Amino acid sequence: MEEANRFLREDYLAEFNRKFSVAAAQPESAFVPASGKDLERIFTVQQERVVNQDNTVRIANRTLQIEKTKWRGTLAKCRVLVCEHLDGTWSVLYGPHLVGRYAADGSRYGQATSPERANPAPPAGFALSTNRVEEGSAETGQITC
């Protein structure tokens, strides 16, 4: 087998190329840049789904939770495109809008793993209590509604 492989490398390939090679009609490269193309979306496995009443999509034994958007509170009963990317992550698109990006296990992509940071509330923008704590007091504060 070693002798056959040596023959192919040293003798046969050179003879084959001499017989059958053809010079290119144009010497420059035939490759062109793919600018303006969303290759990350093109190279995905895409499936259409209808969003459930609880704003989730089921696919491949995973439940993908779609968060509220600024322009629509829920996508229930809407058709969305679910894309599985080459790296195993998922994305959900509603028309041109990306409404969710998910890790391979279905969790939110880039979501914090510690429970205290998993769903932080946005700042209220005002004091949550009108009770004043006097200096030196052992009281830690109380929220008054």
Label residue 104 exposed, middle or buried (CB < 10 Å: 0-12, 13-18, 19+). middle
- Check if the beta carbon of residue 45 is closer than 8 Å to that of residue 10: no
pLDDT confidence bin for 124, thresholds 50/70/90: very low
User: Which has more pLDDT, 117 or 140?
Assistant: 140
Q: Mean pLDDT score of the chain, rounded to an integer?
A: 80
Give CA–CA dist 65/56, Å, rounded: 4
Position 48 scores a pLDDT of 97
pLDDT in tens, 84-102: 999 999 999 999 999 999 9
Query: Over 60: is that where the pLDDT of 4 sits?
Result: yes
Please give the model's pTM, rounded to 2 decimal places: 0.56
- Which pLDDT value is given to residue 145? 38
